C-alpha cells in the first residue's frame, strides 16, 4: 500500500509539472488562464448563482483540458513527423479546432450568464 501512495503523489507531481510546463511554453494556455481569472473575478463581482458557477467551471475546465491535450498532440506530432507532412498539419489543425470549439462553447456560456448581468449593471449606472 505504501508504494501506491507514493505513486499517487508522484503522479500528481507529474500533473502539476505538466500544467506548469504548459504555462511556461504555451502562449494560448497563458491567455486561457488569464481569461479564467477574469471570469472567476466577474463571477464573484456579479454574484452568479451556484447553478451558473457549475456551467462556468465546466466551460473553463473543458477549455483548459482541451488546450493541454492540443499541446500533447502537437508535441507528439512533432516527434512522429520530423519533416513537414500534410498529415502532421491536418493533425495539428484538427487538434487546434477542438480547442476552438471548446472556447466557443465557453464564450457562449459566458454570454448567456454574464450578458444580462452586465446590462443590468449598466442600466443601474445610467
- Does residue 50 belong to any structural domain of this protein? yes
Residue 105 lies in a domain: yes
Let me know if residue 86 belongs to a domain.
yes
pTM beyond 0.75, yes or no? yes
> Do 98 and 69 contact (CB within 8 A), yes or no?
yes
Query: How does the average pLDDT of the chain come out, rounded?
Result: 94
Q: How far does Cα 116 stand from its chain's mean position? A: 24
Q: Residue 3 falls within a domain, yes or no?
A: no
**Per the domain annotation, does 15 fall within a domain?**
no
Residue 4 has pLDDT above 70, yes or no: no
pLDDT over threshold 70, residue 71: yes
Q: Which CATH number fits the domain that encloses residue 106? A: 1.10.287.3610
Residue 7 in this model has a pLDDT that exceeds 70: no
Domain hosting residue 47, numbered range: 28-125
Percent over 70 (pLDDT), the chain: 93
Task: Give yes or no for residue 20 having a pLDDT over 80.
Answer: yes
Q: Is residue 22 part of a domain?
A: no
Domains held by the chain: number? 1
- What's the rounded Cα separation, in Å, for the pair 84 and 37? 37
Amino acid at each position: 500500500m505504501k508504494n501506491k501512495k507514493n505513486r499517487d503523489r508522484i503522479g500528481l507531481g507529474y500533473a502539476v509539472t505538466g500544467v506548469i510546463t504548459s504555462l511556461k511554453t504555451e502562449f494560448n494556455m497563458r491567455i486561457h488562464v488569464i481569461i479564467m481569472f477574469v471570469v472567476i473575478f466577474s463571477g464573484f463581482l456579479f454574484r452568479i448563482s451556484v447553478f451558473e458557477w457549475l456551467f462556468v467551471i465546466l466551460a473553463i475546465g473543458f477549455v483548459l483540458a482541451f488546450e493541454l491535450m492540443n499541446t500533447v498532440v502537437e508535441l507528439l506530432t512533432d516527434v512522429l513527423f520530423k519533416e513537414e507532412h500534410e498529415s502532421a498539419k491536418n493533425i495539428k489543425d484538427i487538434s487546434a479546432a477542438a480547442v476552438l470549439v471548446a472556447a466557443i462553447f465557453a464564450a457562449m456560456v459566458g454570454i448567456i450568464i454574464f450578458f444580462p448581468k452586465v446590462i443590468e449593471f449598466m442600466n443601474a449606472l445610467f
